[in-house]
């Protein structure tokens, strides 16, 4: 039967109309026209033009960009799918971000400003000295891009097209790559946060209207059972605690202990140390703008419960046979994954509920968001590889070579991500969001531990940090290897997984992994000589005003190009600009030939007292709202 193919073959009940096609063509024509106009204004044949475009960001685009970056295609489809599978508990991943975002703006950004850094690996190199930590962290970022960013965005975009048009999933993946390639060539950035919100509110409003409003959601969800079940099992039944945010620490699918402690560790990694996110804040006009941007992003992060997660639950209510399927044959027919089809919850809702024309607009916006997300990841990943790895191998590389390497790296990342798709599709019981968080919990906690100790403990040194990272990597890869060897069993199949997987939740594992890494860092640092005072003290304090300082001994990665300026429009955040009229080249020491290097545009941590108070008051109000929402849905 055709529907039993690996990729699945599922024709939607609402066919793609001529009106939908017209809307999609018009939307992308506008995008291309804007892109061509933008390309005429920014030269993409320079390092500055290719990696980022050049302007300082105000608080509102920073906040919108932070939110949009965190709600990429893979994440919002995964959020809706996990909401459909288990209820509102996944909201904790969104609301916990409030505290990490405030820590980013009030604690980490001033530290990064004082260090005068461009990338996160560069900060650790300046803090600890040496090369190996910086190179390792760049490699780890590339791995995480493959496992949790590029592959998930490709899969979610292809899944959306698959649900809309009924085409083979891998054919849809190829289509995504071709369109994204054109988009990347023409356009570096297109504001997308407002399109996220418009799309989410449209779909959310239609879905709530379909079931008669919010008061009917809980009762309707608990009755959302597929007609074809696996006998003598309960996996087809919705969770009784679906409307509770805090769940049992032992039997809960998202235990409150893990959502409080383990999730905080992962959130600190994502919001405070991840290259894509931090560069947004470092491109601010001032520290007050960076703080206000974090506050705006935190407010926006309160919305996904109502515009993504609950609509995902409603999709299960309306289409239980597809979204809540548990029979392997039925699931394979619907979405191509025998373990479950909760990932189609959001695209299924859009395709079935949206009227003709508006459905095309929703699909076009989804495609644009996907492509913008992918270009952002490609940009930051190629920047990391070019600056932190390739420049170490070839310190005399010219600008054309660096641009070529950046583009080749993008192609390699895409190929590896496509190869990974079959594993992603069958992992974590078919829940994309759970897969993303499970992988992150195995690789990110060691980085969190090292960054926190680097910032708050001057005694931490390079030897302790490096071996802490190596120990954490070994433990994390061991857990990942077990997850690949023992995938989540299908409904009705006995669980053969070892204790480390079956009884130790990945959020609890994140706590243990972070603690183990921290212990190795502390022990290794105490058993070896302390770092030089400039590394141990100045890199952990944020002076009121940053003045250009000579690089530390062994610090060869201070500046790339003749001028460094922060930007707001580009997907990667920071720009590496070549000053016009200078004969710029990269010397083996990392300094620029032609004109003296300057510091990044955001180099001053002073704030006007009035705006500092405004930001502080808003931060307190934000935390009060967040705590109230937690208590209400707990």
162 falls in which pLDDT band (50, 70, 90)?
A: confident
In whole angstroms, give the CA distance from residue 141 to residue 237. 38
Burial class (CB in 10 A: 0-12, 13-18, 19+), 143: middle
pTM above 0.75, yes or no: yes
Residue 477: the pLDDT is 94
Question: For 40-54, 123-137, 227-241, which range has the lowest pLDDT when averaged over its residues?
Answer: 40-54
Q: Is residue 48 pLDDT above 90, yes or no?
A: no
- Label each residue of 402-449 as H, E or C: HHHHHHHHHHHHHHHHHHHHHHHHCCHHHCHHHHHHHHHHHHCHHHHH
Q: Mean pLDDT: which of 284-298, 530-544, 599-613 is highest?
A: 284-298
Average pLDDT for residues 260-282, to the nearest whole number? Answer: 90
User: What does the pLDDT look like over 49-95, one tens digit per residue?
Assistant: 444 434 467 888 888 888 877 776 678 888 999 999 999 999 999 99
> How many angstroms separate the Cα of 142 from the Cα of each of 23, 278, 341, 386?
36, 16, 29, 12
In whole angstroms, give the CA distance from residue 125 to residue 462. 9
List strand residue ranges (DSSP E) for 159-226, in order. Answer: none
Question: For 355-359, 481-485, 550-554, which range has the lowest pLDDT when averaged over its residues?
Answer: 550-554
145 falls in which pLDDT band (50, 70, 90)?
A: confident
Query: What are the structure tokens assigned to 146, written together?
Result: 């493959």
Residue 89: the pLDDT is 95
Name the CATH superfamily for 58-557+604-633. Sodium/glucose cotransporter (1.20.1730.10)
Average pLDDT for residues 464-478, to the nearest whole number? Answer: 96
Q: Mean pLDDT: which of 64-73, 387-396, 449-458, 594-603 is highest?
A: 449-458
Residue 246: the pLDDT is 94
User: What does the pLDDT look like over 171-203, one tens digit per residue?
Assistant: 888 877 777 766 665 554 444 555 556 666 777
Average pLDDT for residues 388-407, to the nearest whole number? Answer: 82
Average pLDDT for residues 313-319, to the nearest whole number? Answer: 94
Residue 189: the pLDDT is 46
User: What does the pLDDT look like over 231-253, one tens digit per residue?
Assistant: 988 888 999 999 999 999 988 89
Residue 187: the pLDDT is 52
Average pLDDT for residues 376-390, to the nearest whole number? Answer: 78
565 falls in which pLDDT band (50, 70, 90)?
A: very low
Kindly report the average pLDDT of the chain as a whole number.
Answer: 78
Residue 220: the pLDDT is 93
Which of the two residues, 442 and 152, has the higher pLDDT score?
442
Which of the two residues, 507 and 135, has the higher pLDDT score?
507
Residue 86: the pLDDT is 92
38 falls in which pLDDT band (50, 70, 90)?
A: low
Average pLDDT for residues 390-408, to the nearest whole number? Answer: 83
Q: Is residue 266 pLDDT above 80, yes or no?
A: yes
Among 294, 295, 287, which residue's Cα sits nearest to residue 272?
294
> How many angstroms separate the Cα of 264 from the Cα of each of 349, 514, 558?
31, 11, 31
Among 114, 131, 51, which residue's Cα sits nearest to residue 557?
131
Q: Is residue 209 pLDDT above 60, yes or no?
A: yes
Q: Mean pLDDT: which of 131-145, 315-329, 552-566 is highest?
A: 315-329
Which of the two residues, 249 and 599, has the higher pLDDT score?
249
Residue 603: the pLDDT is 61
Residue 569: the pLDDT is 34
In whole angstroms, give the CA distance from residue 430 to residue 156. 12
Q: Is residue 337 pLDDT above 70, yes or no?
A: yes
Residue 179: the pLDDT is 74
User: What does the pLDDT look like over 502-521, one tens digit per residue?
Assistant: 889 999 999 999 999 999 99
Among 556, 616, 609, 564, which residue's Cα sits nearest to residue 587?
556
Residue 540: the pLDDT is 64
Angle at Cα 482 formed by Cα 478 and Cα 487, nearest 5°? 150
Burial class (CB in 10 A: 0-12, 13-18, 19+), 299: middle
Produce one character per residue of 168-192: b if its CB has 16 or more CB atoms within 10 Å, e if not.
Answer: bbbebbebbbebbbebbebbbbbeb
Among 271, 281, 269, 265, which residue's Cα sits nearest to residue 112?
281
Question: For 65-79, 538-552, 581-595, which range has the lowest pLDDT when averaged over its residues?
Answer: 581-595
């Amino acid at each position: 039967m055709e529907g039993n193919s690996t990729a699945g073959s599922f024709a939607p009940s609402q066919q793609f109309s001529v009106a939908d096609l017209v809307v999609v063509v018009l939307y992308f024509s506008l995008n291309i026209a804007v892109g061509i106009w933008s390309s005429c204004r920014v030269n993409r044949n320079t390092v500055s033009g290719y990696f980022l475009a050049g302007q300082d960001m105000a608080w509102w685009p920073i906040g919108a960009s932070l939110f949009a970056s965190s709600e990429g295609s893979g994440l919002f489809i995964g959020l809706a799918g996990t909401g459909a599978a288990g209820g509102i508990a996944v909201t904790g991943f969104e609301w916990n971000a409030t505290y990490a975002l405030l820590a980013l703006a009030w604690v980490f950004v001033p530290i990064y400003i004082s260090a005068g850094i461009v990338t996160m690996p560069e900060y650790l190199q300046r803090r600890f000295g040496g090369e190996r930590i910086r190179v390792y962290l760049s490699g780890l970022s590339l791995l995480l891009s493959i496992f949790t960013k590029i592959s998930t965005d490709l899969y979610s975009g292809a899944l959306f097209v698959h649900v809309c048009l009924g085409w083979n999933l891998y054919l849809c993946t190829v289509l995504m790559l071709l369109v994204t390639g054109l988009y990347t060539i023409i356009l570096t950035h297109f504001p997308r946060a407002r399109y996220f919100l418009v799309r989410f509110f449209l779909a959310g409003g239609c879905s709530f209207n379909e079931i008669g409003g919010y008061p009917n959601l809980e009762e309707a969800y608990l009755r959302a059972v597929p007609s074809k079940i696996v006998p003598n099992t309960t996996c087809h039944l919705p969770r009784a605690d679906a409307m509770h945010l805090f769940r049992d620490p032992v039997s809960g699918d998202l235990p409150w202990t893990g959502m409080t402690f383990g999730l905080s560790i992962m959130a600190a990694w994502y919001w405070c140390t991840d290259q894509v996110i931090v560069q947004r804040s470092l491109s601010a006009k001032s520290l007050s703008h960076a703080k206000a941007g974090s506050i705006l992003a935190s407010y926006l992060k309160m919305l996904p419960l109502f515009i993504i997660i609950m609509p995902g639950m409603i999709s299960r209510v309306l289409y239980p046979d597809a979204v809540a399927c548990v029979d392997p044959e039925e699931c394979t027919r619907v979405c191509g994954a025998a373990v479950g089809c909760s990932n189609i919850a959001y695209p299924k809702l859009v395709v079935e509920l949206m009227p003709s024309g508006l459905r095309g607009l929703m699909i076009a916006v989804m495609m644009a968001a996907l492509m913008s997300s992918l270009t952002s990841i490609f940009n930051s990943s190629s920047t990391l590889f070019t600056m932190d790895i390739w420049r170490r191998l070839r310190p005399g590389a010219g600008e054309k070579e660096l641009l070529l390497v950046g583009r080749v790296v993008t192609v390699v990342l895409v190929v590896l991500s496509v190869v990974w798709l079959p594993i992603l599709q069958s992992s974590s019981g078919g829940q994309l969001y759970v897969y993303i968080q499970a992988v992150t919990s195995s690789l990110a906690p060691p980085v969190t531990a090292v960054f926190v100790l680097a910032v708050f403990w001057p005694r931490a040194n390079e030897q302790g940090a490096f071996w802490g990272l190596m120990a954490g990597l070994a433990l994390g890869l061991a857990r990942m290897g077990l997850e690949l060897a023992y995938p989540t069993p299908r409904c009705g199949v006995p669980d053969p997984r070892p204790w480390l997987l079956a009884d130790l939740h990945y959020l609890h594992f994140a706590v243990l992994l972070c603690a183990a890494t921290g212990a190795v860092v502390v022990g290794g640092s105490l058993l070896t000589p302390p770092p030089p005072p400039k590394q141990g003290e100045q890199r952990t304090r944020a002076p009121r005003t940053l003045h250009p300082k000579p690089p530390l001994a062994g610090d060869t990665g201070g500046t790339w190009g003749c001028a460094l300026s922060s930007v707001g429009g580009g997907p990667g955040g920071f720009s590496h600009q070549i000053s016009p009229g200078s004969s710029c080249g990269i010397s083996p020491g990392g300094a620029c030939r032609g004109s003296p290097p300057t510091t990044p545009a955001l180099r001053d941590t002073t704030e006007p007292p009035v705006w500092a108070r405004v930001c502080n008051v808003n931060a307190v109000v934000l935390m009060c709202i967040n705590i109230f929402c937690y208590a209400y849905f707990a």
